[in-house]
Structure 1
Amino acid sequence: MTALGCLLLFGFSVCVSGFRIDQLTPFAGKATAHRSEMRRRRVLHLHVKKEDPSVKNKNCIRIEFRPGVGGEEALLWSRELLNTYKTFAERMNCRVERVHDAGESLVVTSPSDVCIAKQGQEIKASLYDLFKNESGIHQVKRVPRNESKGKIHSSTATIAVFLHTDEHRKDEVNLKDLRIKTFRSSKPGGQNVNKIESGVSILHKPTGMQTECQEERTQEMNKKIALKRLTEKISHLRHKQSEEQLRRERSKLVKDSSRSRRIRTYNFFRGYITDHVTKRRVDLMYFEKVRLEFLLNVDR
């Protein structure tokens, strides 16, 4: 090979190698940035969901039962109502969970709207639309089991129907609501900890709540801990807000448990049910056979 050929070959190899370096360098930078972003998302995914936890499902409801006027008989009547509604919901293939709190409640969920047949007509509705008008005072007139003289007693129980938010959703935090900052740790842990920004501070913008962590050696571990602390604080706040909202909604649905505010009277002695809202009577056997579709006022 001549000297000119060697010179040309050397120049070509330099150009090719230079082209590769120029072309690969930005791709290498993008790959590194992509890996860093994926690591950040994996950490956030442990506690953060993109769904809005404030959105409520109309096919997930809470039906609360509380005894009213009537002492022990009112307590028995409240439990009888609960068991009847529970059986009815299960017949519609709904998932039913019994919850014990200030009163007793049923959390009823369905993957889709449910259908009931009423007066020869099929009605399709969400669980909330189906049961929402059951909120109010339910009065019963009958001879209690512990009544030795056969005297008819009048007792009441209250029902309140709410939209329900799943408990696990209360711990979810929207990614767009977070502001994450890193800083150099001031904690002891070697030169590496103090040289890099391993400390993490997370601000939840809607509530102003903020947590930070700098105890661990790596930024990822500090993020996990800071997110966990923030999630716990937000969950506690949401629980308090939920309880207060529930109290306000209950007071709107059920003014008090007096007999004068009843929406329905179940007269076991005469064998019929009086609906004080629609001013109609229904045979008591529909309640006894758990045929609540004949009692529900879906369209009122």
Structure 2
Amino acid sequence: MQEQIGKLLFRFEQVEELLAQADVLSDQKRYQELAQEHSYLLEIKDKWLLCEDLQRQLEENQNLLKEEKDLVFADYIRQEIEELEKKISVSTSDLNHLLIPPDPLDSRNVILEVRAGTGGDEAAIFVGDCVRMYKLYADFKGWKHELLSCTPSEMGGFKEYFMVLSGHNVYRCLQYEAGTHRVQRVPKTEAQGRVHTSAVTLAILVEPDESEKIVLDEKDLKIDTYRASGAGGQHVNTTDSAVRITHVPTGLVATCQEERSQHKNKDKAKRLLVAKLAERKKLKAESEMASLRASQVGTGDRSGRIRTYNFPQNRVTDHRIDLTLYKLHLIMEGDLNEIINALIAYFYQKKLEIVGNQFS
């Protein structure tokens, strides 16, 4: 690792020099590319310096412990050593995560789609719990989240929920969250105290940028307006502000009723529809290139159960990497870093293995 870090730190110095050059400053595209690389390398540099500092503190405390004769102070030093070892473990894990090379899609906006599956009202309630969990995680990461569309459930939660997440490394962190998430707990409506199993499905759609945007032909669209339902104020039941857009050639549908303005709802529905069409196009291209499977690893097939949240045991298990953590209460508060970093490392290694096999 040290050799790899050394090369990256040398590159960091090169990029800093390039960013100060006049010809780079005048070339916006080149400047943005270098600025993004600089941000990535700075993050690695900061994390590496932190790891070095923690390691230095650990060695100093270990040397102190060998010489310390006072039993009370020695016990205090041992506690310090234990805390430092934990911090080093976390920081090293974060650094390993950062050393996975960036991808052009890493910081692209994503549309997170959460739908209730099996389990009726309890599944809808868990959709609400998942939405809250990802919003808290987004807040922790410094991302922005924007509601696109949702359908509330009478018993609480949502039948479906669509939101846009934007910020640094959004797609990098969330790309492996797609799939079926299973929950095991006693529902609020359960009088006998029995544990029920429900499920929700997640999809992660990359929002197309300007160069990739699919242009919608109005002739291919069937646009219906209707009165919105659910909470939202007096306008909900008095104006036909809700919009449903059907893309006739594919049958894909997008709806929105969140805004008071029919025009704004139409814009949001179109935005969602474009993302769905882009995802459909991407999946079709991947299907046609089935022999090159490296790009298809971890696409998050929604039919596959990827994670179980067991509330009675405070346990969460990601079945793809056999990772079990007994801190579900923290995970539901947005503490997803440990799971997400492990998934990124696992699927990156899988891609390397597949590429290696293709050339062996």
TM-score range, shorter chain: 0.3 to 0.5
Rg larger in structure: 1
Greater share of residues in helix: 2
Greater share of residues in strand: 1
| TM-score scaled by length of structure 2 | 0.40
| TM-score scaled by length of structure 1 | 0.48
